[in-house]
Amino acid sequence: MRHIAVILDGNRRWARTHGLDAQEGYSRGAAKVHEFLEWCDEAGIRWVTVWVLSLENLRRNRRELGVLLSIIKNLIDELAADGRWRIRALGETSQLPPPASRTR
C-alpha cells in the first residue's frame, strides 16, 4: 500500500462519553496522529492524508473553535519540527487563519 487516508472524527463525542471536555478529546485525538504516522512509516506507507477539520467545524462556538484550531496548529508545528513529514494544507484553506493554511 502506498497511500492511506483517515478522517479524524468523533473526538468531542469520545470526550463526552468519557466525562471529559471537548479540549481533552481534541488533544487526545491529536496525540493519536503521531501514533498513526509511526504505524504508517513502519508499514512502508509513503503518503498519508489526514483530514483534521471540516467546514462544519468552523461553525462551532468561538471558544471551542479557538481551542480546536490551536490544537491543530500545535500538531502541525510538531510534525513539521520532526522533519520527517512534508505537510500540505488542502481544501478550503482560505477559511483558515494564516499559519494553519500554509504548507510546510
Tell me the pLDDT tens digit for each residue of 17-49: 999 999 999 999 999 999 999 999 999 998 999
- State the catalytic residue, choosing from 21, 57, 61, 77: 57
Q: Which of 7-11, 31-35, 38-42, 92-96 has the lowest mean pLDDT?
A: 92-96
Cα(89)–Cα(10) distance, integer angstroms: 21
Cα(77)–Cα(93) distance, integer angstroms: 17
Confidence of residue 83 (pLDDT cuts 50, 70, 90): confident
Burial call 56-86: b when 16+ CB within 10 Å, e when fewer: eeeeeeeeeeebbbebbeebbeebeeeeeee
Tell me the pLDDT of the chain averaged across its residues: 87
Residue bearing cell 513502519: 42
Q: What does the pLDDT average to over 67-73?
A: 91
- Return the CATH number of the domain spanning residue range 3-101: 3.40.1180.10
Q: What does the pLDDT average to over 49-67?
A: 89
Catalytic residue list contains 82: no
Catalytic residue list contains 57: yes
pLDDT of residue 80: 87
